[in-house]
């Protein structure tokens, strides 16, 4: 399944939110840490109800916060920040089942916004951006990554069944942010559009296996992954930006780990490069 337009992508988002297929949904939890809140500068709230709900949450009126944040997410199902704070408010009211569902929706949306092709988005080519525009885009993406980290951190507090998978997600997201906050002089990893970079060349990419369970259930779709093609010739820190159930996300990750490539180079020496790859699953 390819996402070729914003209307198609949004319909996919809305249907997916109704039953988010994050690995390991469900488990018991401990009290949520307040530091899992995203920074104010990173908050993108899409409705007045959402903004007011967050205000009530921060005042400690969690029941009123839930009421307003539910209105916000009903009005805009794509409001990831309202979903995030709805989960926090539910946790304070000891409604962990509801909190779990809300944070799963927040995670799905926040990871999806890191994969703009899923929305059919078209950005101005990097080479056509001014220096100021490039910095603005870097800051925007860094904010998106930090939002995703905050929501995954909350989910880890819930001790999901697939805890190892989600800890890898958290670590991969964190590594990505740390590497891209480094100054150019200290960088060891790069984006494919960084100046002076000779990109990595992939010479072997195996197709992922289709699980029998997914085949029986007729699962079609796309898993979008991002990982680091390391200077030592291995693939590290894989992040799943879009996922599929019945083991397909894990199969895509296995396939990406098996990629063979010639590392990128900069100033004549091997360096690490971040790369996004899509794996398409179709039942024939």
Lowest mean pLDDT among 66-80, 119-133, 141-155, 238-252: 119-133
Structure tokens at 267: 């100033």
Does the pLDDT value for residue 271 go beyond 60? yes
Q: What is the pLDDT of residue 225?
A: 96
| Average pLDDT over the chain, rounded to an integer | 82
Alpha helix (H) residue ranges in 96-246? 96-112, 131-157, 163-181, 212-216
Q: What is the pLDDT of residue 140?
A: 82
Q: What is the pLDDT of residues 66-93, one digit of tens each?
A: 999 999 999 999 999 999 999 999 999 9
Q: What is the pLDDT of residue 194?
A: 76
Q: What is the pLDDT of residue 44?
A: 73
Q: What is the pLDDT of residue 134?
A: 78
Q: What is the pLDDT of residues 9-21, one digit of tens each?
A: 433 444 444 445 6
Q: What is the pLDDT of residue 36?
A: 46
Give 15's DSSP letter: H
Structure tokens at 249: 């996300």
Q: What is the pLDDT of residue 7?
A: 35
Q: Are 271 and 190 in contact (CB under 8 A)?
A: yes
Predicted confidence band of residue 31 (pLDDT cuts 50, 70, 90) = very low
- Across 112-133, average pLDDT: 73
Predicted confidence band of residue 121 (pLDDT cuts 50, 70, 90) = low
C-alpha–C-alpha distance, residues 215 and 209, integer Å = 11
The percent of residues in the chain predicted with pLDDT above 70, rounded, is 80
- Across 217-231, average pLDDT: 94
Q: What is the pLDDT of residue 116?
A: 62
Structure tokens at 118: 């899923």
Q: What is the pLDDT of residue 56?
A: 97
Region of 246 on the Ramachandran plot (φ > 0 left; ψ -120 to 50 alpha; else beta): left
Q: Are 265 and 231 in contact (CB under 8 A)?
A: no
């Amino acid at each position: 399944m390819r996402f070729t337009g914003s209307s198609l992508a949004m319909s996919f988002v809305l249907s997916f939110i109704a039953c988010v297929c994050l690995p390991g949904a469900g488990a018991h939890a401990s009290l949520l840490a307040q530091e899992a809140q995203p920074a104010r500068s990173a908050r993108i709230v899409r409705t007045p109800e959402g903004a007011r709900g967050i205000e009530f949450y921060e005042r400690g009126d969690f029941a009123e916060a839930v009421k307003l944040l539910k209105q916000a997410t009903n009005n805009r199902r794509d409001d990831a920040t309202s979903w995030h704070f709805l989960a926090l408010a539910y946790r304070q009211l000891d409604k962990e089942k509801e909190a779990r569902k809300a944070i799963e929706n927040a995670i799905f949306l926040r990871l999806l916004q890191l994969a703009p092709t899923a929305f059919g988005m078209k950005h101005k080519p990097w080479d056509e951006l001014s220096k100021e525009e490039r910095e603005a885009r870097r800051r925007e993406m860094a904010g998106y990554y930090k939002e995703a980290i905050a929501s995954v951190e909350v989910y880890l507090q819930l001790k999901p069944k697939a805890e190892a998978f989600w800890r890898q997600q958290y670590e991969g997201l964190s590594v990505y942010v740390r590497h891209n906050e480094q100054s150019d002089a200290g960088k060891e990893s790069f984006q494919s559009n960084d100046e002076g970079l000779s990109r990595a060349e992939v010479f072997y990419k195996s197709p992922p296996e289709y699980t029998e369970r997914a085949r029986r259930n007729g699962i079609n779709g796309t898993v979008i992954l991002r990982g680091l093609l390391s200077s030592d010739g291995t693939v590290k820190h894989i992040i799943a930006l879009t996922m599929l159930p019945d083991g397909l996300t894990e199969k895509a990750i296995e396939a990406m780990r098996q990629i063979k490539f010639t590392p990128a180079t900069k100033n004549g020496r091997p360096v690490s490069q971040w790369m996004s790859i899509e794996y398409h699953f179709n039942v024939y």
